[in-house]
């Protein structure tokens, strides 16, 4: 028996007049409820699903005619993974309806064979009959061949007369040809049945483990009887959606300005044990089982820091260069303008604290873990281009776009496919970008901006008899050149070692080109230069630093 609390509950609009309306939350399970009246099957269907990144809230609806008085309704075949503490039931209908005790129990094991198994069984019986025919024809063919191999002179006690040999050969040939064709057709029919069985086995629907399904019983009282519409809502695991994005950059858009289009998609999967057929799907941009309170702070202990071994990682991946299509012949007739296909997108529903997307139309998704890709939204924020370089790690310039998320929903972390001027050039990971917050996306290497970083000086002095300090000096030169016929905004980031030990001193030398930023984004030891480069212009950047440490100690140098 489940104790209940009546609370307000919202249902979709229905043609029946709204006279009685209630809902309940299930709190705990106890003993079985006594029988109150007639037990009725409440045939229900899944009407809507709110899908979260980690779970789903499913709403089933059932329309039923209730007799006057008390009855017990049974909702069969709910998934075994449903959370009983989230089960809610509400209703409306022709008259007064009182919802009573609720019981969640394991569904009895299914008996008999399913329609799918019956179809497989029939095909296997048909295959067995085909095999009997194949075996009979093969035996007949073998006997005919044996007759032909014995020779006409050995047929009967004295053999056939020579004048009858041609007749025997013709009879054997006709028999072999006719029987062989029948055998070929029988084997082909058997192979076709085998293929049908294999295809049907491959499409076998996923079955829930034995005892996994649940039945929900509800005691109701309808004093005057009538038609009622009930809704059962519950949370279930085994379903999720993950964000995916497409970023399309047109470098020469309208008026020569770059244009960015950011498309948001959802990859939906579910293996809850029940198929979702023709449902209204809402995608929530927040977790259903996440933390709901701030974590408790704990005391922190300070200790001496031992710096790890620095291991610079060389960027080795190269983006494929896509060749431009050759221009059409000068005398070619212009191609007629074609209308582009439109993509149905979801409707954004944004509140003060959270956002969700209502998928377009009705959605169907089998409970076999297969994925469905749904277009959610598209935006075209203003794009600010820059060319970013980290010459100590990669001797290339990478095109970067700075944008602002103009939607009322956050851009959740997920993979983003990068397209530049219509060509797919790679994929990266999009971090969380809150509404109206800025973000950056990389759009591949630009071979028309060259970067050369060379060491100019490396000097070490060994400590003398009286010297107790070891000193090392390093100097680098970086030259950036713009080979485009338009100006670019360059951003160069380089690095020096840093130390958290007072005995190790790192100092930047005067010949270093004055940086625009030191320790950008709180990252110690980094220097950043920003400058504009006109067509066919170049700029030289110098970086020099000196390191000192006690001669009797060993250090790890990057």
pLDDT in tens, the chain (558 residues): 333 333 333 444 443 333 333 444 333 333 334 445 678 889 999 999 999 999 999 999 999 999 999 999 999 889 888 899 999 999 888 889 999 888 888 876 555 556 678 888 888 999 999 999 999 988 888 887 777 666 655 555 556 666 666 777 677 788 888 888 898 999 999 999 998 888 888 776 655 444 468 889 999 999 998 999 999 999 999 999 999 999 999 987 556 689 999 999 999 999 888 899 999 999 998 888 877 777 777 777 766 566 666 565 444 444 444 444 455 555 556 666 666 666 667 677 767 777 788 888 888 998 888 888 999 889 999 999 999 999 999 999 999 999 999 998 899 999 999 999 999 999 999 999 999 999 999 999 999 999 999 999 887 776 655 568 888 899 999 999 999 999 999 999 999 998 888 889 999 999 999 999 999 988 999 999 999 999 999 999 999 999 998 888 888 775
Task: Compute CA 544 distance to the chain's CA centroid, rounded to the nearest angstrom.
Answer: 47
pLDDT at 452: 95
Tokens of 547: 């390191």
CA neighbor of 243 nearest in space, from 193, 214, 187, 285: 285
pLDDT at 311: 60
CA neighbor of 410 nearest in space, from 245, 237, 260: 245
Long-range contacts of 12-18 (CB under 8 A, 24+ apart): 12/47, 12/48, 12/61, 14/92, 14/229, 16/92, 16/93, 16/94, 16/227, 16/228, 16/229, 17/94, 18/92
DSSP-based three-state secondary structure for 119: helix
Cβ 279 vs Cβ 363: under 8 Å = yes
> What ranges make up the beta strands (E) of 462-518?
469-482, 488-495, 505-508, 517-518
| Rounded distance between C-alpha atoms, residue 529 and residue 544, angstroms | 15
Residue 330's φ and ψ, nearest 5 degrees, are: -60, -30
| Rounded distance between C-alpha atoms, residue 387 and residue 449, angstroms | 8
Cβ 228 vs Cβ 222: under 8 Å = yes
Cβ 525 vs Cβ 496: under 8 Å = yes
Tokens of 527: 């220097």
Cβ 379 vs Cβ 292: under 8 Å = no
Tokens of 555: 């250090």
Cα 245-249-254 angle, rounded to 5 deg: 135
Other CB atoms within a 10 A radius of the CB of residue 120 amount to 17
Integer-rounded Cα radius of gyration of the chain: 38
Task: Compute CA 404 distance to the chain's CA centroid, rounded to the nearest angstrom.
Answer: 24
CB neighbour class for 390 (10 Å; exposed up to 12, middle 13-18, buried from 19): buried
DSSP-based three-state secondary structure for 64: strand
Count how many residues are written for the chain.
558
Strands 384-390 and 488-495: parallel
DSSP-based three-state secondary structure for 170: helix
Per DSSP, 310 falls in state: P
Tokens of 438: 């800025």
Cα–Cα distances (Å) from 409 to 262, 350, 354, 432, in that order, read 13, 7, 8, 11
Strands 88-93 and 226-236: antiparallel
pLDDT at 106: 83
pLDDT at 5: 36
| Rounded distance between C-alpha atoms, residue 73 and residue 217, angstroms | 5
Other CB atoms within a 10 A radius of the CB of residue 514 amount to 9
| Rounded distance between C-alpha atoms, residue 74 and residue 93, angstroms | 18
| Rounded distance between C-alpha atoms, residue 100 and residue 97, angstroms | 10
| Rounded distance between C-alpha atoms, residue 247 and residue 132, angstroms | 61
Q: Which helix (H) or strand (E) holds 304?
A: none
pLDDT at 358: 87
């Amino acid at each position: 028996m489940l104790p209940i609390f009546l609370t307000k509950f919202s249902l979709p609009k229905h043609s029946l007049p709204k006279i009685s309306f209630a809902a309940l939350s299930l709190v705990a399970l106890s003993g079985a409820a006594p029988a109150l009246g007639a037990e009725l099957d409440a045939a229900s269907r899944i009407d809507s699903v709110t899908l979260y990144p980690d779970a789903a809230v499913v709403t089933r609806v059932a329309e039923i005619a209730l007799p006057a008085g008390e009855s017990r309704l049974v909702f069969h075949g709910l998934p075994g993974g449903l959370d009983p503490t989230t089960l809610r039931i509400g209703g409306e209908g022709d008259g007064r309806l009182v919802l009573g005790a609720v019981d969640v129990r394991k569904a009895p094991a299914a008996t008999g064979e399913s329609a799918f198994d019956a179809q497989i069984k029939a095909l296997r019986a048909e295959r067995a009959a085909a095999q009997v025919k194949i075996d009979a024809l093969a035996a007949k063919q073998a006997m005919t061949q044996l007759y032909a191999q014995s020779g006409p002179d050995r047929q009967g006690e004295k053999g056939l007369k020579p004048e009858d040999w041609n007749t025997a050969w013709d009879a054997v040939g006709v028999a072999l040809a006719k029987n062989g064709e029948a055998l070929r057709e029988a084997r082909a029919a058997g192979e076709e049945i085998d293929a049908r069985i294999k295809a049907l086995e491959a499409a076998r629907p996923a079955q829930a483990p034995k005892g996994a399904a649940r039945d929900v019983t509800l005691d109701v009282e309808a004093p005057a009887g009538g038609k009622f519409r009930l809704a059962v809502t519950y949370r279930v695991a085994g379903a999720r959606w993950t964000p995916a994005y497409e970023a399309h950059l047109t470098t020469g858009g309208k008026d020569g300005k770059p244009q960015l289009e950011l498309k948001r998609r959802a990859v939906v999967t579910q293996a809850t044990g029940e198929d979702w057929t023709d449902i209204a799907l809402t995608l929530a941009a927040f977790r259903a089982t996440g933390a709901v309170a701030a974590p408790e702070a704990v005391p922190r202990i300070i200790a001496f820091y031992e710096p790890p071994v620095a291991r610079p990682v060389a960027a080795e991946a190269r983006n494929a260069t896509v060749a431009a299509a050759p221009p059409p012949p000068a005398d070619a007739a212009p191609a007629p303008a074609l209308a582009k296909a439109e993509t149905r997108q979801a409707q954004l529903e944004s509140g003060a604290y959270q956002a969700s997307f209502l998928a377009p139309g009705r959605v169907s998704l089998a409970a076999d873990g297969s994925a469905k890709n749904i277009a959610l939204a598209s935006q075209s924020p203003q794009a600010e281009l820059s060319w970013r370089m980290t010459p100590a790690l990669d001797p290339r310039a990478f095109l970067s776009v700075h944008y602002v998320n103009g939607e009322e929903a956050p851009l959740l972390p997920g993979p983003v496919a990068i397209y530049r001027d219509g060509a797919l050039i790679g994929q990266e990971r999009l971090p969380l970008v809150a509404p109206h917050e800025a973000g950056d996306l990389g759009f591949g290497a630009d071979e028309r901006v060259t970067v050369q970083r060379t060491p100019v000086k490396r000097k070490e002095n060994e400590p003398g008899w009286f010297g107790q300090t070891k000193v090392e000096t390093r100097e680098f030169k970086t030259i950036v050149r713009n080979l485009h016929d338009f100006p670019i905004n360059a951003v160069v980031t380089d690095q020096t070692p840093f130390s958290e030990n007072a005995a190790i001193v790192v100092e930047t030398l005067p010949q270093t080109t004055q940086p625009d930023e030191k320790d950008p984004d709180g990252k110690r030891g980094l220097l950043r230069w920003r400058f504009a480069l006109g067509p066919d212009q170049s700029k030289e950047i110098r970086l020099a630093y000196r390191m000192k440490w006690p001669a009797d100690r060993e250090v790890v140098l990057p």
